Structure 1
Amino acid sequence: MHLAVVACGERLEETVTMFKSAVLFSFKCLHLHIFAEDQLHARFMEALESWPGFIRSRFNYTVYPIRFPSENAAEWKKLFKPCASQRLFLPLILKDIESLVYVDSDILFLQPVDRLWDFLSRFDSAQLAAMAPEHEEPRIAWYSRFARHPFYGRTGINSGVMLMNLTRMRSMFFKNDMTSVGLRWEELLMPLLQKYKLNITWGDQDLLNIIFHYNPELLLEFPCQWNYRPDHCIYGSNCASAEDNGIYILHGNRGVYHDHKQPAFKSVYEAIRKYSFGADPVSSLLAPLEEQLLKTTHTYCGKSHALFTKALVHSLAGINGKAVRLR
């Protein structure tokens, strides 16, 4: 399984914690594709190589420089957040990779990556990407209220967790509102940016929304429990799939892992960050997390604290199962 992330600025520890959650719970071997600024390369390698051997056997990794088309590199790099639009160019850079999971650095896996990877088998003959909706309720969704450009579906899509069939993305001709003929991925991106750059707020995510607005048949939606953000609980719970089965992937956007605005999100991040590989996952991760979550019930997200551990319990049981098999 291939997992890609882009890390610029002060994102090293956050990214390493994301990798920790991915490697900890997954069953198949992972190949980590790390796109990072040059000064972070050695630090990523040092962090990952410091993990114990039994963990290192579960993954390998490649570190890449940040790469944008040379004629517009500065414009792409500063779009929205530093380097965030690198994800748009993964099909053109990773030419030998068929499919991958792209995630933002502020993602935490609470279920094995394998379960997200399985969505690839649900793609029909046309679909080439999968994402979760930006919101579940159009009346309070950002895109349906404020967007000044076309967007996917009723509420738009969030690109923080994205499953990509790169082979199909490279070969597809995409419908668009700039020409009557379809354009390949590499032909589409810059004209799209030039047309909409004064009307987009969320950078590359907005460009993806425009693309899939005109090509909705190419996208598979997965439920919000696979990309659970503060928006899903900050004003009351509004992610039905998480209510039913728990949170599978936690997305701590808006910096909530590092401030005190959403302590439930920060509690999960800190529990995984502090966990030591090989320690008992129940007493060393789950128990202290549950204790911290009980201190967050003064917030709406904290009131839904059971959702943060509902799926995690099963993942931690899987860790013990892997340990038994390794012995």
Structure 2
Amino acid sequence: MSRRLVQVVLLCLGCGLCSLLYAFSQLALSLEQEAARRQGDSALPVRRQLSGGGGGAWRAAARSAGCSQREPPERCKNVSVSYWNSYWMLPSDVCGRNCFWEAARRYDFVKKQPLEKMHLAVVACGERLEETVTMLKSAIIFSITPLHFHIFAEDPLHTEFREILDGLAYQGKFNYTLYPISFPAENAAEWKKLFKPCASQRLFLPLILKDVDSLLYVDTDILFLRPVDDIWSFLKKFNSTQIAAMAPEHEEPRIGWYNRFARHPYYGKTGINSGVMLMNMTRIRRKHFKNDMTTARLRWEEILMPLLKKYKLNITWGDQDLLNIMFFHNPESLFVFPCQWNYRPDHCIYGSNCQQVDQEGIFILHGNRGVYHDDKQPAFRAVYDAIRNYSFGDDLVHALLLPLELELQKTQHTYCGRIYKVFTKQLTKSIRDICDRRSKGR
């Protein structure tokens, strides 16, 4: 009888304890909600609006929330009440400052794997300082994984680069290394005058950056409209023979340059454009390349000068032509990505010929032909001006997207301007994704 009584008492105590824990949990929830209301915390309804359908809903939410570059404040920072959750897990709207799991995260008992940095290289000479900084800003704005910039520049530009980059916000999101322009000593003058000043520097990146496994090279006139992470992910799609990725020079052979005018071998039907070049540099350094100069296969550092000597009277676009020759003889080594990853005026000045952008928008904008700095293609210049004028910390919708949309509507007298919505389709999604990540406290 006494044993049964003890069991009943223990059962009652257990039920009472569960009820008490439940009451504490509900009290914690109500206190947090009240604290959030006092602080004007609207993160939860914003998250619901942003995750819903329809562009208007997320845009209105982003405007009201001020989807800015500033990181959201730490939720527990100004809350004096400590909460305890009986299940040791945190609901999305409970601070849980002293919860077991929160304490584990706060004091590093649960370790996060550090993110591997993405490496991006650019070569800047002459009047390309502002253009290069604008490109770097576009990479910083949208990318998720930290970036390491490898900037090859003429010596007089180094001080200005340091002053500008050291002054940018989000130092934790990127770092950089500045390098001088350098070519093999015995042929430096010949390499430097090939095509544009310093352009052929990109050919020597695998030999200079010996400790870098993979690298994204871009021209200074590139603008990212989605995270660098997304083009970086192509590295995982390379098969065992592929060492680099580029986009075709043209989609439409009738207006292609290589298939109509080239006096040297070139890749595929219309050649490739090297303004955006993703490289597995470890594979490049190891590969022996087939060529039309000798039956022996040559390494990267062995093949460059012989190619230049053989074709220097027949090449127009310098180092890009040499890359076309190289991949003509080694087509299995190239991964080709679609035109929206390297969208140029040629894709719209004679009518739209990059079909992928109609559905998905432009991912990477390439303003060759100097279109960022003249009035020939105002749609391209509008995007450049919008990113150049954007200040870190400003609201992305009000300070970048909406002014750009207004400017693009003024460009409809041109072929590129008639399809102006492709210039903001992916940009809109990228900004929405940033808002989503911030509303979830990432």
- TM-score bracket, shorter-length normalisation: over 0.9
Over the aligned positions, Cα root-mean-square deviation in angstroms equals 0.9
Correspondences of 1:143-158 after superposition (within 5 Å)? 143-158=258-273
> Aligned match of 1:230 in 335, 342, 345?
345
Q: Which amino acid aligns with 2:358?
A: E
> Aligned match of 2:218 in 96, 103, 111?
103
Residues 101-149 of structure 1 deviation map (CA, whole Å, 9 limit, x = unaligned):
0000000000100000000000000100000000011121000000000
Q: Which amino acid aligns with 1:82?
A: P
Match of residue 213 from structure 1: 328
Q: Deviation of residue 314 (structure 1)?
A: 1.0
Percentage identity across paired residues of the two chains: 71
Partners of 1:288 and 1:18 in 2: how far apart?
A: 19
Structure 2: 5+ residue stretches without partners:
1-117
TM-score normalized by the length of structure 1? 0.98
Is 1:188 the counterpart of 2:303? The answer is: yes
Q: Contact (CA 8 Å) 1:6, 1:105: kept in 2 or not? A: yes
Q: Which amino acid aligns with 1:129?
A: A
Match of residue 5 from structure 1: 122
Partners of 2:126 and 2:246 in 1: how far apart?
A: 25
Larger Cα Rg: Structure 1 or Structure 2? Answer: 2
> Aligned match of 2:201 in 66, 71, 86?
86
Residues 176-235 of structure 1 deviation map (CA, whole Å, 9 limit, x = unaligned):
000001000000000000000000000000000000000000000000000000000000
Partners of 1:201 and 1:186 in 2: how far apart?
A: 22
Structure 1: 5+ residue stretches without partners:
none
Q: Deviation of residue 243 (structure 1)?
A: 1.5
SS in 1 for 2:285: helix
Partners of 1:111 and 1:16 in 2: how far apart?
A: 17
Partners of 1:21 and 1:137 in 2: how far apart?
A: 29
Partners of 2:429 and 2:163 in 1: how far apart?
A: 31
> Aligned match of 2:315 in 200, 207, 210?
200
> Aligned match of 2:282 in 167, 170, 173?
167
Q: Contact (CA 8 Å) 1:24, 1:319: kept in 2 or not? A: no
Partners of 1:44 and 1:157 in 2: how far apart?
A: 30
Q: Which amino acid aligns with 2:277?
A: M
> Aligned match of 2:147 in 4, 27, 30?
30
Q: How many residues align?
A: 325
Q: Which amino acid aligns with 1:28?
A: T
Q: Which amino acid aligns with 1:234?
A: I
TM-score normalized by the length of structure 2? 0.73
Correspondences of 1:1-327 after superposition (within 5 Å)? 1-52=118-169, 55-324=170-439
SS in 1 for 2:381: helix
SS in 1 for 2:277: strand
Q: Contact (CA 8 Å) 1:281, 1:319: kept in 2 or not? A: no
Partners of 1:326 and 1:70 in 2: how far apart?
A: 52
SS in 2 for 1:28: coil
